[in-house]
Chains A and B, each alone.
Chain A
Amino acid sequence: MNKLCSMKEAIAASVTDGCSLVIDGFTHLICFAAGHEIIRQGRRNLTAIRLTPDLVYDQLIEAGAVRKLVFSWAGNPGVGSLHALRRRSEASSPERLELEEYSHFGLLSRLLAGSAGLPFWPLNNYAGGDIARVNPSIKTVTCPFTGQELAAVPALRPDVAIIHCQRADAEGNAQVWGLLGSQKEVAFAAKKVVVVAEEIVSTERIRKDPNRTLVPGIIVSHVVHEPWGCHPSFVQGFHDRDNDFYVKWEDISRQPETYRAWLEEFVHGVKDRQGYLARLETGLLDKLRAKARVCEGVDYGY
């Protein structure tokens, strides 16, 4: 089935006010285009979930789209803080965001349980520390075989997962290489999956390299073709991270006024991703484009 549609259509059809949502990616493959479209469509009261909420989650928070954040590490990687998040989570802030906090493996375990259709996932962690003390969703379980006490976290089934990938076919069979993050677990845990791809290719091309497929089309509801949809994040083999932006963001996001002005110009002030790309500094995309490093193919014959 052909599931191709525009980002606008995919977000309108899948992300509703009050839903729980993951825009996944671990530094790599973070779909800023999807986050910006959610802001433009004015979604409210979202539960935003990701191990590593970063700039696009902070932008969703600043834009007033998020009621609750479920996470394990929140920052501007290698640079600094998420300032909208800090402004809404410190004692001095009037409008507080609800936070539910784990370590990476704890939150990942919730997604593993969700993706496996199990009620919980055990992990050897948290004994004595304060993370479990402040999060009532972290409990303990006794192993029925060894008697060992382990931490246990409940399954997480987000309403929507948005997964960016290098290439997909129109059915949503999505191929990813480079850092895989938790894209697979998030996709299988979610009730609805939107795949966003740098390239749309034929199913025949997907079938020629089946081991590369991370998310199979049978769990995908919408497919969006959005080249450069991850800027300023990166896509292995397509383009590098725009590190200068991440550094500049520290200054832009520190003051609410400059933050809002940026959202006005680059999110509200454009119609879609093409409009955003057109506002970037001339020559930037060429500068970020990946230098080829093609691997040798493998033989799938028998």
Chain B
Amino acid sequence: MATELSATPTASERMAYRAAQELRDADVVFVGIGLPNLACNLARATHAPGLFMIYESGAVGAIPERLPVSIGDPSLVTDSLAVVGQADIFQCMLQRGLIEVGFLGGAQVDRWGNINTTVIGDYANPKVRLPGSGGACEIAVHARRLLIVMRMSKRTFVETCDFVTSPGHRVNGKSRAELGMPGGGPTRIITDLGVLDFDATGEAVLAEVYPGVTPEQVRAACGWPLRTADALRTAAEPDVSVLRLLREKLDPQRLYL
């Protein structure tokens, strides 16, 4: 049944599509719930059919038939290649170094790609209590490539995170190498306005904007003086066939779109 389809992507659709472009066929990816999950399923349905999806809950090589509403959805088990305990996931998959790509989001991110999912305000007397790390801290330490997916605002892109839950390229003044972290750290921050890359010093710089978005708009939504890369690229956007796939097949109930 053909339905009326708006050709303009929503912010979530842009982010899911752009994140999917980062995934290569046969990448072993540690899938988070929400947009990362959608991005992985989109990549698998298009250019990366061999994407190997591992979920923190224990599903290894999962091919969920429905969009999982949580990271522990029963649809992740059905038809998985293996289901293992969480100790195996963290020890044998993540700390062992098997994960190529990790995805994280959060309440705050800073210019070094540090992420806060713990508290807003002082730890002992927080203004807002957030869920905490879960596996995010160790994903940030161990994934060879880390993609951060977050909507951009001065409230979320902050000069300094109130709490560093998941380490980026420089934590409290020290580099990943100095701290002995095995993973590569964040490679990109995918936002609703554009994409930030990291320079050689580990600082985030604006590298791509979506069509119609100006660098000024992006800078205005950033809590630190954001630098722009020498060659600013245009971020890839989903076409109508991808939008149809996202809306009608991958997330028909619009859980995340």
Find out whether the CB atom of B132 lies under 8 angstroms from the CB atom of A73. yes
Q: List which A272-294 residues lie within 8 A (CB) of chain B.
A: 290, 293
Spot the interface stretch: B55-63, B193-201, B221-229, B237-245: B55-63
A72-B133, A129-B165, A240-B74 given; A78·B128 CB < 8 A = no
> For A51, A178, A236, which residue has the most chain B Cβ atoms within 10 angstroms?
A178
- Taking the complex as formed, is A202 at the interface, i.e. its CB lies under 8 A from any CB of chain B? no
* Chain B residues whose CB sits within 8 angstroms of the CB of A234 once the complex forms: 74
Contact pattern, A 123-134, Cβ under 8 Å of B = 1, otherwise 0: 111111111001
B166 nearest CB neighbor, chain A only: A129
B residues in contact with A195, CB < 8 Å: none
Instruction: Tell me whether A134 and B123 are in contact (CB under 8 A).
Output: yes
The answer to the question of B118 belonging to the interface, with a C-beta cut-off of 8 Å to chain A, is yes
Does A181 lie within 8 Å of B86, measured CB to CB?
yes
Measured CB to CB, the nearest residue on chain A to B128 is A90
Say yes or no: is A36 at the interface (Cβ < 8 Å to chain B): no
What is the interface size of chain B, counting residues whose CB is below 8 A from a CB of the partner? 58
- Nearest Cβ distance between residue B40 and chain A, in whole angstroms? 16
Knowing A108-B90, A130-B163, A182-B87, the reply to whether A77 touches B72 (Cβ < 8 A) is yes
Cβ distance B90 to chain A, nearest Cβ, rounded Å: 4
Identify which of B19-27, B44-52, B178-186 touches chain A: B178-186
| B69 A148 Cβ-Cβ under 8 A | no
Contact in complex: B129, A293 (CB < 8 Å): no
User: Separation in Å of the B173 CB from the closest CB of chain A?
Assistant: 9
Instruction: Decide yes or no whether B78 CB sits under 8 A from chain A.
Output: yes
Say which residue of B85, B134, B142, B166 sits within 8 Å of A52 (CB atoms).
Answer: B134
CB pair B58–A26 under 8 Å, yes or no, is yes
- Chain B residue at minimum C-beta to C-beta distance from A104: B135
CA distance A241 to B255 in the complex (A): 16
Q: Given A185-B87, A241-B73, is A293 in contact with B78 using a C-beta cutoff of 8 Å?
A: yes
Q: Which residues of A contact B59 (CB under 8 A)?
A: 179
Check B77–A178 contact: CB distance below 8 A: yes
The verdict on A75 contacting chain B, using a C-beta distance below 8 Å, is yes
Q: How far is the CA of A178 from the CA of B74 in the complex (A)?
A: 7
Contacts of B167 in A (CB 8 A): 127-129
Whether the pair B85, A75 counts as a contact (CB closer than 8 A) is no
A160 and B82 CA atoms in complex are apart in Å by 30
Q: Name B104-134 residues within 8 Å CB distance of A.
A: 114, 118, 121-129, 131-134
Q: Contacts A75-B131, A101-B132 known; A179 to B72 CB distance under 8 Å?
A: yes
Question: Across the interface, do A181 and B137 meet the contact criterion of CB distance under 8 Å?
Answer: no
Q: Mark A172-185, 1 if CB is under 8 A from B, else 0.
A: 00000111111111
Q: Judge whether A72 and B165 touch: CB under 8 Å.
A: no
| B83 proximity list for chain A (CB < 8 A) | 177-180
Closest 5 CB pairs of A and B: A27-B72, A73-B134, A128-B171, A77-B70, A75-B131
- Which B residues have a C-beta under 8 Å from some C-beta of A? 33-34, 56-59, 69-74, 76-78, 83-87, 90-91, 94-95, 114, 118, 121-129, 131-138, 141-142, 163-167, 171-172, 174, 179-182, 255
Can you name 16 extra interface pairs (CB under 8 A) apart from A105-B90, A129-B137, A241-B74? A71-B132, A78-B33, A78-B69, A86-B129, A102-B133, A103-B137, A112-B87, A123-B95, A127-B179, A129-B166, A130-B123, A178-B77, A179-B77, A180-B85, A181-B72, A184-B85
